[in-house]
């Protein structure tokens, strides 16, 4: 029962998230946050194999985007989804903490919506890339006083939206500190240890604190539209292409210096 529009040989990406159709998230139409999700390549085997069988509903045609570049769509869609969760509009300051692949996706989407984006990271090379994809301001949290810079940029108001795309206790606290009164904090990364907050800010600022998980088909389509425009710096987002027999070495290099890597692709 596959509908028209799917042809042999066409370039596609896929939505790798499963959903049960029965939990609270699925019942509310937010299938990306399914309680029983099993992501391909994480909880289930991925597609590093000769053939894979998937429901047609998980296949997303990618037009003229090359198979290589299709591999960038899913990780970027996670950042796009966070911007949707934040309900970003064009007259807002959006602070994105972390300029890895997910953070870059959030910067792109917020800029496309017309927001003024402030990118924060420890690495100057990543901050340069953030500027290329739409950040109006960049802050190196290693060498600059983040609070002073944020106050200066936002004229003392703080950010309307903060998107946390690192997942460390320090950046979680930074997000709550730097968001303005009645602002929104959207968390993509999650810390592996407990985080201590000044909870008075939750109340005094009357904050909206939201999680963001995976992505919806609309987010995938938005990334595809962006990539078709030709503005995506794909060469800079692909840090290395490894052959299968070299994948382990590439992973070990990544683990040794994660700050310098966006995506490593495995070519078959």
- pLDDT tens for 171-210 read 999 999 999 999 999 999 888 889 988 889 999 999 999 9
What are phi and psi for residue 81, nearest 5 degrees? -65, -40
**Residue 259 pLDDT greater than 90, yes or no:** no
At a CB cut-off of 8 Å and minimum separation 6, what does 80 contact? 105, 106, 108, 109, 215, 219, 222, 223
**Residue 262 pLDDT greater than 90, yes or no:** no
CB 209 within 8 A of CB 185: yes
CA angle 22, 30, 220 (to 5 degrees): 125
pLDDT digits (tens, 9 = 90+) for 79-110: 999 999 999 999 999 999 999 999 999 999 99
Where are the chain's structural domains?
1-63, 82-211
Tokens of 131: 């500027």
At a CB cut-off of 8 Å and minimum separation 6, what does 42 contact? none
Tokens of 49: 């194999």
Q: How far is CA 6 from CA 3, 9, 57, 210, 235, in A?
A: 7, 9, 11, 36, 28
Provide the pLDDT confidence category of residue 228 given band limits of 50, 70 and 90: very high
Can you identify the CATH homologous superfamily of domain 82-211?
Answer: NAD(P)-binding Rossmann-like Domain (3.40.50.720)
Region label for 48, one of left (φ > 0), alpha (ψ between -120 and 50) or beta (otherwise): beta
Q: How far is CA 104 from CA 1, 7, 20, 109, 187, in A?
A: 37, 32, 30, 9, 15
| pTM for this model (two decimals) | 0.94
């Amino acid at each position: 029962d596959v509908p028209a529009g799917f042809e042999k040989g066409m370039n596609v990406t896929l939505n790798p998230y499963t959903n049960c159709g029965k939990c609270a998230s699925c019942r509310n139409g937010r299938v990306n946050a399914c309680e029983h999700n099993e992501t391909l390549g994480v909880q289930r085997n991925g597609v590093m194999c000769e053939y894979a069988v998937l429901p047609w509903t998980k296949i997303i045609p990618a037009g003229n985007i090359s198979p290589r570049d299709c591999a960038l769509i899913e990780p970027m869609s996670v950042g796009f989804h966070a911007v949707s969760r934040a309900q970003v509009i064009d007259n807002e300051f959006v602070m994105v903490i972390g300029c890895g692949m997910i953070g870059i996706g959030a910067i792109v989407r917020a800029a496309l919506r017309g927001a003024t984006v402030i990118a924060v990271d420890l690495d100057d090379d990543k901050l340069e890339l953030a500027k290329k994809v739409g950040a109006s301001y960049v802050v190196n949290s290693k060498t600059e006083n983040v609070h002073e810079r944020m106050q200066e940029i936002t004229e003392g108001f703080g950010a309307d939206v903060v998107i946390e795309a690192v997942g460390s206790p320090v950046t979680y606290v930074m997000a709550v500190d730097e968001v303005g009164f009645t602002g929104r904090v959207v968390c993509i990364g999650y810390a592996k240890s407990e985080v201590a907050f000044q909870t008075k800010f939750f109340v005094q600022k009357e904050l909206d604190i939201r999680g963001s998980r995976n992505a919806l088909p609309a987010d995938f389509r938005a990334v595809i539209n962006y990539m078709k425009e030709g503005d995506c710096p794909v060469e800079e987002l692909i840090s290395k292409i490894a052959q299968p027999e070299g994948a382990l070495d590439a992973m070990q290099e990544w683990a040794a210096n994660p700050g310098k890597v966006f995506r490593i692709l495995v070519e078959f």
